[in-house]
Structure 1
C-alpha cells in the first residue's frame, strides 16, 4: 500500500507542467505567508511577528510532509527572485536625508555597533566551535537590521538556503525576546526617553523590534530610536560591498569561483529607491501616504514568502547539531552589545 502511494505521488509530480509547478510553488509560499500572518494575529504570537511565524510553519511543514518537490521551481523563485525584489523595495524605508542631516553622530556609533556585533560573534563562534556561516549571518543580522541584512548578505557570501533560513528564524525569535525584555526593563533603567530610544535603536535587531520597544516610551523616543536604526540600515550597503571585496579577494586565482561570483544588482536597486524615497518622493513628486503604505505592505509579504521558501529547506536534525552554538554566540554578543551601548548612551 505504501509503495502504491509513492507511485501515485511520483506520477502526479511528473504530470505537472513547468508553468503549473512554478505558479503552484509561488502560490504555496504566499499561502504559508498568509498562515503566518493569521498566526501573528493571535495574542502572544503577535510579538513574534508574521515573518517568524511563517518560517516556523514552513519548517514544521517540511518536517511532517517533506519538501514539495513538484513545486520546487516556484518555491525557488520565491526564495531567490522575490527576496531580491523585497530588498530593493526595502530601500524606500531608508531616508538618507534624515540620516545624514540629523544622525551623523548616531551613524558613527552605529558603525561601531556593526563592527562589534560581527567580530564578536565570529570570535565567539571560533571559541564555541560553532558553524561559521550561520554565525557570520547572525553577526550581520545582529549588527545591521535582522532578516533584511541576512537576506542581502547571504547571496554575496554564498550561503546555503538552509543556513539563511535558520539565521533568519533565530534573529527574528531572539530579537522579539530582546524587544520584550527592553519594554519590561524600561521603567527601572536610569535613562530618559531620548536615551532609551537611542539605546533601543542602536542595539535591537529589526525595525519592528525597535518600534515595539521604543513606542511605550513616547513619540520622541520612537523617533530617535528609528533614526538610530536607520543609520544601521544605511550602513548595509557599504557593508555588502566590503563582503563583495572580501569574497573576490578570497577567490582570487580561482577561475571557477570567479565566474560564479555574481554582482548583487539588487543593491543598486536598493540604493536607487533609497535616493528616490529620500529626495524625490514627497518632494518634487507627491506620493500619497496610502500608496507608500501599500508598498511597505507588499515588501513585507514578498519578504515573508521568500523566507517561507528558505524555511522549507530547513532540516531540524541539522538544526539541532548546527544552530545551537551559533545561537549561543549570537545571544552572548547581543547581551554584551546591550550592556556596552547602555553605558555609551
Structure 2
C-alpha cells in the first residue's frame, strides 16, 4: 500500500512538473510568434514585445485561458519577470552615467517627475484607472515596459493592468519614435542636441535608439547617455514608491504589507557587475553581453505573454481608452518640455 501511494505521488508530481514546463514553454512559443510577426514590414516598428502581447491577448479571446498550463504561465509572469529586471541591469553602465551623465541626471529627474505628475493629473481628469495611470506615468518617465514591470509588484497591481500598461507604452513609444525620425531633418538642432532630446523624452531604450540612430553616432551616444540616467533613477523611484505605499496604507489592517523588492538588489548588482567587472577585471567575449541582452528580451517577452493571457478585450476596451488618451497628451507635453530643456 505504501509503495502504491508513493508511486501515485511520484506520478502526480511528474504530471504537475510536466504542466509547469509546458506552461513556460507555451509563453516562449508565443514570444517566438511575436518575434516572427515583428519581422513583417510595419510590425517591425512595433517590436517583439508588443507583438507577443497582442498575440497572447487574441489567443485568450478566441481560445480562453489555458487553465491546464496556469502554473507555468504564472511562473513566467511572476518569476521570469523579476529575472528579466535583474538582467536588465546589465544595460545600465553606471561608470558612463557617473563620468559623463551627471549633468543630465537633474534633467532626467525633472522628466520623471513631470511625466508621473502630468499622467496622474490627466488620468484623474479623464477618470482613467488610477493604477494604470501611475504605471504609465512611471513607464513614460523612466524606461517603458521594464519600469512598469519593476513597480507593478510594489503597487500590487493586477496582471491585466500591468499587461495593458505595457501594451500602451509600447504602442505610444513606437509612434513617437517614428515621429521623431520624420521631423528630425526639419528641427533647428545639432545632432548632439537632438540625441539629448530623444534620450530625455522617449519611452524605452529601443525607442531612443530608433529615433537617434538616423542622426548619427554622436546623436545616438548622447541619446543613450540621457536615457541611461533615467534608467539609473528607477531604483530610488522604486524605494520612494515603497515608502509611499506604506504611508498610503498606514492603519489599513486589511491591506497586506509591502514586500521588499529583492529583485532590485539584483538589478543593482548586475549594473555594478556590468559597469566595473565584466570586460575590465574579467575579460569576456565581445558578443557575450549582446547575447545576454537578447536573452533578456526573450525572457521579458515570455513574462509579458503570461500577463497578456490574463487580459479580456472587454476589460481592455473599458480600461485602455482613457489612459491611452492621457498618455498621448503626456508624451506630447513631455516632448515639448524636454525640447526646451536642451
Under a length normalisation based on structure 2, what TM-score does the superposition of the two structures give?
Answer: 0.95
2:332 is equivalent to residue 335 of structure 1: yes
Q: Which residue of 2 aligns with 1:9?
A: none
Mapped to 1, the partners of 2:101 and 2:227 lie a distance apart of 10
Structure 1: runs of 5 or more not aligned = 1-13
Q: Which residue of 2 aligns with 1:274?
A: 271
Aligned match for 2:168, one of 156, 163, 170: 170
Mapped to 2, the partners of 1:258 and 1:177 lie a distance apart of 38
Deviation at 1:174, TM superposition (A): 0.8
Aligned length: 331
Deviation at 1:64, TM superposition (A): 0.6
Can you list the C-alpha shifts for 1:160-206, whole angstroms capped at 9, x where unaligned?
A: 00000000000001100000000000011111100000000000001
Can you list the C-alpha shifts for 1:254-280, whole angstroms capped at 9, x where unaligned?
A: 345344x21110000000010111111
Mapped to 1, the partners of 2:13 and 2:99 lie a distance apart of 59
SS in 2 for 1:292: helix
Mapped to 2, the partners of 1:173 and 1:333 lie a distance apart of 14
Deviation at 1:99, TM superposition (A): 0.5
Mapped to 2, the partners of 1:333 and 1:194 lie a distance apart of 24
Can you list the C-alpha shifts for 1:55-96, whole angstroms capped at 9, x where unaligned?
A: 000011111111101100000000000000000000000001
| CA contact 1:179–1:204 (8 Å) conserved in 2 | yes
Can you list the C-alpha shifts for 1:34-68, whole angstroms capped at 9, x where unaligned?
A: 00001111111111010010000001111111110
Q: Which residue of 2 aligns with 1:308?
A: 305
Mapped to 2, the partners of 1:294 and 1:15 lie a distance apart of 34
Gap change, CA 1:15 and 1:267, over 3 Å in 2: closer
Q: Which residue of 1 aligns with 2:211?
A: 213
Backbone CA RMSD of aligned residues: 1.3
Mapped to 2, the partners of 1:16 and 1:99 lie a distance apart of 48
2:73 is equivalent to residue 75 of structure 1: yes
Q: Which residue of 2 aligns with 1:92?
A: 90
Mapped to 2, the partners of 1:344 and 1:297 lie a distance apart of 33
2:314 is equivalent to residue 317 of structure 1: yes
Q: Which residue of 1 aligns with 2:7?
A: none
Q: Which residue of 1 aligns with 2:282?
A: 285
Mapped to 1, the partners of 2:18 and 2:95 lie a distance apart of 45
| CA contact 1:116–1:143 (8 Å) conserved in 2 | yes
Q: Which residue of 2 aligns with 1:236?
A: 234
Structure 2: runs of 5 or more not aligned = 1-11
Deviates more, 1:247-256 or 1:28-37: 247-256
Write the mapping of 1:100-249 to structure 2, written as runs, cut at 5 A. 100-249=98-247
Deviation at 1:15, TM superposition (A): 12
Mapped to 2, the partners of 1:195 and 1:141 lie a distance apart of 23
Mapped to 2, the partners of 1:51 and 1:258 lie a distance apart of 31
Mapped to 1, the partners of 2:225 and 2:286 lie a distance apart of 20
| CA contact 1:248–1:258 (8 Å) conserved in 2 | no
